[in-house]
Amino acid sequence: MTLFELAAEQKSADVTDWSGRIGWVVGLLLVITLVYWLMRQGWKWRGTLQSDLPAPPGPPAEPGEPSRTLSGRYHGSTTAGQWLDRIVAHGLGTRSRAELSLTPAGLLVERPGARDFFVPTAALREARLDKGIAGKVLAEGGLLVVTWALGDRLIDSGFRSDRSAEHPEWVAALNAVSGPDHQNHPTTTTEGAAR
C-alpha cells in the first residue's frame, strides 16, 4: 500500500456535537441550582418554625474582665440533648470563627462575620465534652458543648478551640459558674440519652 492510498483511507475525526454537550451542561447547572434553592428554602423554613425563640442577648456594655478566653470555631447550636435538631433562628445556625470570653457576667461569644451573642451566668446550665453537633462530628471529646437557657428552651452550642487541650479546663470553669438550677438538668450526649 502506498502512502497515497493510506492517506485516502484515513478519515477525519468525528466533529464534536457541541449542541449536545451544551445541553448537558445547562441541564446539570439547572439541577445544581434547584438543589441549592431547595436547601436555602429548607433553611428559611426551619428559621420560620423557630420564630418563637427569643433573640439571644447581645454583648453587655461592661462584661467585666474575662477569667479565660478561647479562640476557635463556633459549629452551631441545637436543641439540648438533640444533636441533629439545628437552631437557625437569630443567626445561631451560622458556623464561624469565634472568640469566647468567660466573664463574671457570663459567656461572651464574638463571631466575625456573624452576630455576636452573650449567655448570662444565670442562663448557663452545664458544659461537657462531646463528639458532635449538627453538621460536625469529631473524635470523642473533640467538641466543647455549652448548654444554656434561651427563653424557656435549653440550647446546646458547640465550639472547638484551636488548642483542644484547653477544653477540659473550660468545662470545669463553665460548670463552676453555671446557674443555680444546674443540678436539675441531666447531662446528655449526642445520642440524646441522659447520663
| Backbone Cα Rg of the chain | 26
Could you read off the pLDDT of 30-56 as tens digits, one per residue? 999 999 999 888 877 877 777 788 888
DSSP 8-state class, residue 59: P
Looking at the predicted structure, is the pLDDT value of residue 186 above 80? no
Please tell me which of 94-108, 131-145, 180-194 the model is most confident about, judged by mean pLDDT: 94-108
* Residue that has been written with the C-alpha cell 437569630 in this structure: 90
The overall average pLDDT reported for the chain is 82
Question: How many CA atoms lie within 13 Å of 106's alpha carbon, on the beta-carbon side?
Answer: 24
% of the chain with per-residue pLDDT over 90: 41
- Residue 88's pLDDT is what? 87
3-state secondary structure of 34: helix
- Residue 90's pLDDT is what? 87
- Residue 4's pLDDT is what? 60
Report residue 1's pLDDT band, with 50, 70 and 90 as the boundaries. Answer: low
Q: How far is CA 161 from CA 18, 19, 129, 132, 164, in A?
A: 51, 52, 12, 14, 5
Looking at the predicted structure, is the pLDDT value of residue 189 above 70? no
Looking at the predicted structure, is the pLDDT value of residue 3 above 70? no
C-alpha span between 109 and 181 (Å, rounded): 22
Query: Domain ranges in the chain?
Result: 19-49, 68-184
Looking at the predicted structure, is the pLDDT value of residue 182 above 60? no
Q: What is the mean pLDDT of residues 113-135?
A: 90
Global pTM reads: 0.71
Instruction: Select 68-184's CATH number: 3.30.450.40, 2.30.29.30, 3.40.640.10, 3.40.50.150.
Output: 2.30.29.30
